[in-house]
Amino acid sequence: MRLLIGGSPCTHWSIAQTKNRETEASGIGWELFLNYRIARGKYKPDYFLYENNKSMSPAIRTQITAELGVEPVLINSALVSAQNRQRLYWVGKREPDGTYSQVPVEQPEDRGILLRDILETGICWREKGYALTASSHSATAEDMFARRQRNGVAEPIDACCVAQRGRYIGEGGKVAQHFEARTDGKTNTLTTVEKDNLVAEPVRIGTIENDAKTPDHDSQQYRVYSPDGKSVTLCGNGGGLGAKTGLYATPIGGIDGKAGPVYEVRDGFIAIKGKRYPIKLRDGFYIIRKLTVTECKRLQTVPEEYVFPVSNSQAYKMLGNGWTVDVIAHIMSHFEGLTEEPVEVLSMYDGMSCGHIALDKLGAEITAYYATEIDKYAIQTTQHNFPKTIQLGDAFQVRGEGWTL
């Protein structure tokens, strides 16, 4: 059995393209699609699958349908994962006369997976995530709320019990007061000494969004300093726990162990750079972080054992450009005889080989997997996970006279 799968880059067609977006069947985006259509004519697959973004213009969608001869089916990845990702899929079967007919594909069963189900740590304020994109990893906290296009996770910062102790330190044997914190969520033994059980409430490194009368006023009571730097100025009559002790120097770590900005949630709103945004979290302090690579893999239903031998930035990019694997597997499950005979695949714009992952999930016997791809990091990642993949290079080569596999 021969399969042709692929989705030409949607950059030129997507509604996210604010400048020079292509809305007619011409331009670079259309030429990239034509490579796929030309490959279908020369490769003559038994089944084909073409994917692209729902936000393309009606004119382009209509012309693709005319070129491929089948109607698209719209599937939202939210049915099988925790992200809203609406994509169009054109799926066809080769008939004895060489034409292609529609392969009916019903909607996948809703698995009820929510964003909280795929998190390594932390909590979320949405049931489903936004669609991953190639630039999702560069999102700021402001992007997550103002633009409403990026996924974020809130890491609560909880209070803990500390005891004020005096210990001999240094060669001089001097006694120094310091604080010993518990990390098990329990208190110390209750005694008559008040300082044996104090409560430390962690706050951010930087400046907490505060209730000062003017946004530009950086009140000392809202300042927090890095434990690796300097504490606030000590004063004899300072107010608050930190004024006489330097407790403002509080370490805070994100999921990667790095300190990060912390935001206050109060009365259903989070304050970011002087602006308030509604959020469904209880009152308190939170680190707002992006999704991890592992969490993004789960959004795209990529197996945990899939390896990215590249930087996290490149991994995020590939996942954002990739397919939701279980949607592809669902569609391919409609290919008659897929698991009963050897399969040869031509994957156009292969990326990280999500098609290969889907076929593996279905238990298909792949005898040859050809891939057109030019991104060196995607090629490196594919070859690491699927070393038998035959890399062909640029997709435009299919236009060459006499091109064949």
Backbone Cα Rg of the chain: 28
Report pLDDT digits (tens) over 247-272.
333 334 444 444 456 788 889 998 88
203-231 exposure pattern, b = at least 16 Cβ within 10 A, e = fewer = bbbbebbeeeeeeeeeeeebbbbeeeeeb
Report pLDDT digits (tens) over 343-369.
999 999 999 999 999 999 999 999 999
The whole-angstrom separation of Cα 297 and Cα 134 is 13
Structure tokens at 38: 């030309």
Top-confidence residue, 189 or 236: 189
Closest CA to 256 of 291, 285, 286, 302: 291
Top-confidence residue, 210 or 318: 318
**28-43 and 58-68 helices cross at what angle (nearest 10)?**
10
| pLDDT given at position 171 | 55
Top-confidence residue, 70 or 221: 70
In which residue ranges of the chain is CATH 3.40.50 found? Answer: 2-113+294-399
Q: Is the pLDDT of residue 318 over 90?
A: yes
User: Whose structure tokens read 């001869």?
Assistant: 69
Report pLDDT digits (tens) over 278-305.
988 888 878 888 899 999 999 999 999 9
Mean pLDDT comparison of 38-47, 178-187, 219-228, highest-scoring range: 38-47
Which residues lie closer than 8 Å to 84 by C-beta, 6 or more apart?
76, 77, 78, 128, 129, 130, 131
| pLDDT given at position 293 | 94
Structure tokens at 46: 């038994």
Mean pLDDT over 323-328 rounds to 98
Report pLDDT digits (tens) over 99-143.
999 999 999 999 999 999 999 988 888 888 888 877 766 677 777
Structure tokens at 357: 């992952």
| pLDDT given at position 255 | 44
Residue 222 binned pLDDT confidence (cut-offs 50, 70, 90): very low
Structure tokens at 205: 């490194």
CA 256 to chain centre: 16
CA 315 to chain centre: 10
Mean pLDDT comparison of 20-29, 57-66, 187-196, 268-277, highest-scoring range: 57-66
Q: Is the pLDDT of residue 401 over 60?
A: yes
Strand (E) positions, 198-308? 198-200, 206-207, 223-224, 262-266, 269-272, 275-278, 284-289
Report pLDDT digits (tens) over 141-180.
777 877 666 788 888 876 556 666 665 555 555 555 555 6
| pLDDT given at position 32 | 97
For residues 219, 222, 225 and 227, what is the CA-based torsion angle, rounded to 10 degrees?
150
Q: What is the DSSP letter of 363?
A: T
CA distances from 7 to 89, 90, 172, 391 (A): 9, 10, 70, 17
> Is residue 365 within 8 Å of residue 397, measured between CB atoms?
no
Mean pLDDT over 45-63 rounds to 96
Q: Is the pLDDT of residue 213 over 70?
A: no
CATH of segment(s) 2-113+294-399? 3.40.50
Residue 338 binned pLDDT confidence (cut-offs 50, 70, 90): very high
Least confident of 144-148, 199-203, 285-289, 320-324: 199-203
Report pLDDT digits (tens) over 186-198.
777 777 676 676 6
Top-confidence residue, 184 or 313: 313
Q: pLDDT > 70: what percent of the chain?
A: 74
Residue 251 CB: number of other CB atoms within 10 A? 11
Query: What's the chain's average pLDDT?
Result: 82
| pLDDT given at position 289 | 85
Report pLDDT digits (tens) over 82-100.
999 999 999 999 999 999 9
Residue 51 bridge partners (DSSP): 89
To which H or E segment does residue 43 belong? helix 28-43
